[in-house]
Amino acid sequence: MIKTIKRLKIAVIGDVMLDHYVFGNVDRISPEAPVPVLNVKDEKFYLGGAANVARNLKDLGVNVYLIGCIGKDESANIFKKLCENENINAKLIETNRITTKKTRIVAHSQQIVRVDREQKQPIDYKTKNEIVKAVTKENIDAIIISDYGKGVISSKLIEELRNIFDKFISVDPKVNHTKMYKDVDLITPNLKETQDMSKIEIQNDNDLKKAANIIIKNTKCKYLLVTQGENGMTLFSQNGFTYHEKALAKEVYDVTGAGDTVIAVSTMCFALGFDPIKAVKLSSIAASIVVGKRGTSSVKFEEIKDYL
């Protein structure tokens, strides 16, 4: 099984970002304004956005190929160094916009503010072609579209990927981009995203089924995997098949990045030819492990084996 996973190659295409954490203590209020004064004790950088999906795949043992856009700035240098440290094979296309960076200020283990540095304009035609060219150079078994709405993902890009590659394509969606995801194999929204994408307020299982059917009808995706936090996750298919998996987590410390883990594991399973129920079960196990860790985390295949 592990040998098979190590032969698998999955491309992650999307909005990469640098996650920056500043840790400290607050023991006074500023005399300049009624705001807390943070006494900084430490700071750390992590791979964020599409890069965290790639990190999840790498930790599972998959050969991962990350494709995204960065700026020509210090954040880009830090990001590239993190990719090297994680042994992630990355094609990072330099653009004239800044590298997306999210700074979270944390005092006494509590996030008190987040500062975003980003530009959201769509990438140009030349950059889009570079992305497609980068994928065609590799012997890819599956593609994950990680869409955070920062301008990398477009309907034209997805259409070209779908036309060129007869491979499994999954999408971690951005709500207002629903129309872009035509004919992909798998979409993995959370409950709120499912409501927004379908325009249906979900209060029970019937509402969830209606919402899922609307999304499947509008996108023509083969599978829709809706994650519902403590209520588990439900898989809906184009042919009417439905399967629900209860949440397995006993203790939840941090849900950050759980969606990245779900799309990484589910795509890996489908690419390996697993049946849908097994794919959902393993995704649920992986999610239960990752929410039991603090901070943006990932899961190693050995942890899933130990759980089983």
pTM (two decimals): 0.92
- The Cα-based distances of 212 to 82, 166, 280 in angstroms read 37, 25, 16
Q: What's the pLDDT score for residue 254?
A: 42
- Tell me: the pLDDT tens digits for 124-176? 999 999 999 999 988 899 999 999 999 999 999 999 999 999 899 999 999 99
Please check whether residue 54 is in contact with residue 79, taking contact to mean a CB–CB distance below 8 angstroms. no
By percentage, how much of the chain surpasses pLDDT 90? Answer: 80
pLDDT band at 57 (very low <50, low <70, confident <90, very high): very high
For 117-136, letters b (16+ CB in 10 Å) and e give bbeeeebeeebbebbbebbe
The overall average pLDDT reported for the chain is: 91
pLDDT at 293 over 60: no
Catalytic residue set: 260
Q: Which tokens go with 269?
A: 């399973």
Summarize pLDDT for 206-242 with one digit per residue, the tens. Answer: 999 999 999 999 999 999 999 988 888 999 999 999 9
CA torsion angle 91 73 116 227 (round to 10): 10
Residues 262-271 have a mean pLDDT of 95
In the chain the domains, ranked by start, together with CATH numbers, are: 2-16+48-100+118-307 (3.40.1190.20)
Q: What is the 3-state secondary structure (H, E, C) of 123-150?
A: CCHHHHHHHHHHHHCCCCCEEEEECCCC
Name the residue type at position 4: T
∠ CA(153), CA(159), CA(160), 5° rounding?
95
Lowest mean pLDDT among 197-206, 234-243, 285-294: 285-294
